[in-house]
Amino acid sequence: MRKTRVCELLGIEYPIIQGGMSLIANAELAASVSEAGGLGIISPNAGEPDWGKVAENLRNQIRKAKSLTDKPFGVNFSIQNIGEDRSLIDIAIEEGVRVVTIGAGSPALHTKYLKEHKVKVLHVVASVRHARGAEKNGVDAVIAEGYESGGLNSPDEITTFVLIPQVVDAVSIPVVAAGGICDAKGFVAALALGAEGVQMGTRFIATRECIANQSYKEAIVEATDTSTVITGRRLIPTRGLKNELTKRIQEKESAGASREELLAILSPGLTAAAALRGDIVHGQALAGAVAGMIKEIMSASDVVRSIVEGYDRIVAGL
Ligand SMILES: Cc1cc2nc3c(=O)[nH]c(=O)nc-3n(C[C@H](O)[C@H](O)[C@H](O)COP(=O)(O)O)c2cc1C
């Protein structure tokens, strides 16, 4: 497989990143991806819905990952959760983490601080304007995420296929493609569009090492092409598996419900209900459109290996 600037930047063998995933990007998952030559990412609240305990949880998760792999791994921070507070970032720095991915907020807030502490920063963007802004603020690479992706989405709703080439043309730092990628075909396509690596989220939920509830993993394996939907366009657009909750939100939305009415349905515990307790009927089961392509629960290392193995075959057949 071709080495790219992303491999060099992160000190990894293959430019395949496991995206940060609130509540479920745990140490075992990250270590398995890193051991296979990709880059695993830990989310501070992996397995811990109580935000008051997240600092201790993050330290434990990092230490656990260090006990499982000597290879690099990273930590993801959502500015929506941490804002200007650097206490979690300081824990990652203290524990020797060398790569951070940051999303859902401005790159002006923490990039300089992280770089001063010799941490590589990858910022998640969903438009050319934000990619340029991230580059100007000194990030090392951007993760350009199309709206096929699971979890929070940009209101601009740009697909990965058209977002990546435009971002690649607009910045000179490496671009990592995210959203709608789960296998070697998607990886090759992303590189053809000019990306120098990929980040995947949904694919890694359906892995043995991921802490996500078994029912959630199985729902992803059972999903078809039409199984996901974006809801909350007037709050924060979020892609997840269609279920009773998304149906209720859609009904309210088409009846013209106010922000407050919608917020009343979306209690904060709903994501944990689906992700950790397996209530995929009434909880918020975040997943990307690519769920329809995921056919088995496998080991996270095998996900990386299958992309590496498939790469040469696909490129040779083009
Ligand atoms: C369940 C779930 C939770 C996510 N949580 C986060 C998060 O906390 N921070 C973040 O930057 N991205 C988050 N993402 C986005 C992923 O890191 C990744 O970029 C995205 O899943 C890529 O699209 P895909 O789902 O089509 O692979 C989440 C995605 C999923 C599916």
Nearest residue (CA) to ligand 1, atom 11: 103
Cβ atoms of residues 291 and 223 within 8 Å = yes
Q: Answer whether 273 contacts ligand 1 (Cβ < 6 A).
A: no
Concatenating the DSSP letter of every residue in 85-128 gives --HHHHHHHHTT--EEEEESS-TTTTHHHHHHTT-EEEEEESSH
Looking at residue 172, what is its pLDDT?
Answer: 98
Strand 238-241, strand 151-152: pairing:
antiparallel
Q: Answer whether 150 contacts ligand 1 (Cβ < 6 A).
A: yes
**Single-letter residue type at 74:** G
Give residue 93 CA to ligand 1 midpoint distance, Å: 23
Q: For each of the chain's 318 residues, which pLDDT tens digit applies? A: 889 999 999 999 999 999 999 999 999 999 999 999 999 999 999 999 999 999 999 999 999 999 999 999 999 999 999 999 999 999 999 999 999 999 988 898 899 999 999 999 999 999 999 999 999 999 999 999 999 999 999 899 999 999 999 999 999 999 999 999 999 999 999 999 999 999 999 999 999 999 999 999 999 999 999 999 999 888 889 999 999 999 999 999 899 888 888 888 888 899 999 999 999 999 999 999 999 999 999 999 999 999 999 999 999 999
Query: Using CB atoms within 10 A of its CB, is residue 28 exposed (0-12), middle (13-18) or buried (19+)?
Result: buried
Nearest residue (CA) to ligand 1, atom 6: 21
Give residue 317 CA to ligand 1 midpoint distance, Å: 31
CATH class of 5-211+295-317: alpha beta
Pull the structure tokens for residue 157.
Answer: 């709703």
Give residue 248 CA to ligand 1 midpoint distance, Å: 23
Cβ atoms of residues 42 and 25 within 8 Å = yes
Looking at residue 259, what is its pLDDT?
Answer: 87
79, 148, 152, 229, best to mutate for ligand 1 pocket (most atoms within 8 Å of CB): 152
Q: Cα–Cα distance between 274 and 279 in angstroms, integer?
A: 4
Contact residues for 314 (Cβ-Cβ < 8 A; gap 6+) = 184, 185, 188
Query: What are the backbone dihedrals phi and psi of residue 128, each rounded to the nearest 5 degrees, phi first?
Result: -60, -45
Domain definitions of the chain by residue range: 5-211+295-317, 214-290
Concatenating the DSSP letter of every residue in 258-318 gives -HHHHHHH--TTHHHHHHTT--TTTS--B--GGGGG----B-HHHHHHHHHHHHHHHHHH-
Give residue 150 CA to ligand 1 midpoint distance, Å: 5
Looking at residue 234, what is its pLDDT?
Answer: 82
Q: Cα–Cα distance between 81 and 104 in angstroms, integer?
A: 9
Q: Give the closest residue to 303 by CA, choosing from 73, 12, 69, 17.
A: 17
Q: Answer whether 33 contacts ligand 1 (Cβ < 6 A).
A: no
Task: Reduce the DSSP state of residue 193 to 3 states and report it.
Answer: coil
Query: Using CB atoms within 10 A of its CB, is residue 220 exposed (0-12), middle (13-18) or buried (19+)?
Result: buried
